[in-house]
Structure 1
Amino acid sequence: MKKPLRRIAMGAIQCFVGTLCLVAGAQAVQEGKTAQGYAYVSGGVSQAEQAYLHARRESFSLWAVTAAKKTGAYLVDVRVKITDAQLRVVFDAPLDGPWLLIDLPLGRYDIQASLGGETQRTVTTIHPGDHHQAFFYFPADAEVSPERDQPTPGSPYGGKKP
């Protein structure tokens, strides 16, 4: 009788600690709304942030990632600008981490990512139920964090590592 109770108690403690890690990770994540009211979140530097973003990714129609071309190291401070089909800027800010999740309405969007004088561009169209991904790889002298050598608890994109 004591062993099942011990297992339940240990499971409850692990769940509580896991929740604390998600909350701690979420504190470093930048969340907000665009001028048009579209929800977004950026971050993903730590594994806790990655787990937090992974848990929320289905709420967003566009997922963008920035990384170094040679190493795959995550990049921060990449400026992302998203323009709609009417040429209105719907998002324009430097990212606090390698990932941007944004809930855009249906329509066509031009997505630009800029770092160190280089700008990359892609175009996507959001349809009902869509979850689009945009990847931007820059020539940057960035090293992969030792933390990335550990299995990722959940990339916002559903894989082990983007």
Structure 2
Amino acid sequence: MNQKLIKHILATSFLSLSCFIGQIAYGQIPDTQHSMGVAYISGGVGEGEADSILAEAKEWPLMLELSQLDGGRGVWIFGARISIFNGKRLVFDAVAEGPYILINLDPGQYLIQAAYQGVEQKRSVSIASGQAQKLSLFWK
């Protein structure tokens, strides 16, 4: 093999490895899913995935952050059922796959019902065009 080809192979291999390591270090955002026609991303398990979701949050109308009190301190949770109503109409229903959920709601007034381990919470939220909202839900 000539030296030019060897250098090219090594450079390409190094670049590929760097991209792979970067993805591991920074995590990847989970795939976008849909509930009742509403796009959402749910996850945040692991520091890299959590950082990716938090960076993406400013592009989404609503971010829910889910936690509970455990042994005197707050811990992230997953498995909460999130139902969102616009008036009396259910527009979103999904189970959280991590402590964060980004939800692409249209502008308007909504009621959020969140249930975790048999305890339900309700919150009202107003979504405005072009403004990201963060709502923290905490179970005791």
The alignment's TM-score, normalised by the length of structure 1, stands at 0.68
For 1:94, the equivalent position in structure 2 comes to 95
Runs of 4 or more above 4 Å deviation: 12-16
Question: Bigger radius of gyration, 1 or 2?
Answer: 2
- Which structure has more strand as a fraction of its residues? 2
Residue identity matched to 2:100: W
Unaligned runs of 5+ in 2: 1-10
CA shift at 1:88, angstroms? 1.7
Residue identity matched to 2:122: R
CA shift at 1:68, angstroms? 1.2
For 2:124, the equivalent position in structure 1 comes to 123
- 1:5-20 to structure 2, matched below 5 A, reads 16-20=20-24
CA shift at 1:84, angstroms? 1.0
8 Å contact kept, 1:30–1:96: no
Aligned-CA RMSD value: 2.2
SS at the partner of 2:98? Answer: coil
For 1:144, the equivalent position in structure 2 comes to none
CA shift at 1:58, angstroms? 2.1
SS at the partner of 1:113? Answer: strand
For 2:41, the equivalent position in structure 1 comes to 41
Q: Distance in 2 between matches of 1:57 and 1:133?
A: 9
For 2:114, the equivalent position in structure 1 comes to 113
For 1:133, the equivalent position in structure 2 comes to 134
CA shift at 1:105, angstroms? 0.6
- How many residues get paired? 125
In structure 2, the CA distance between the partners of 1:30 and 1:97, relative to structure 1 (3 Å rule), is farther
Unaligned runs of 5+ in 1: 1-8, 140-162
CA shift digits 1:8-52 (9 cap, x unpaired): x8xx66565223444x543xx3531222x3210000110111122
For 1:73, the equivalent position in structure 2 comes to 75
For 2:4, the equivalent position in structure 1 comes to none
CA shift digits 1:58-109 (9 cap, x unpaired): 2210010110134211001011111113x22121121110111011111001
For 1:62, the equivalent position in structure 2 comes to 62
For 2:53, the equivalent position in structure 1 comes to 53
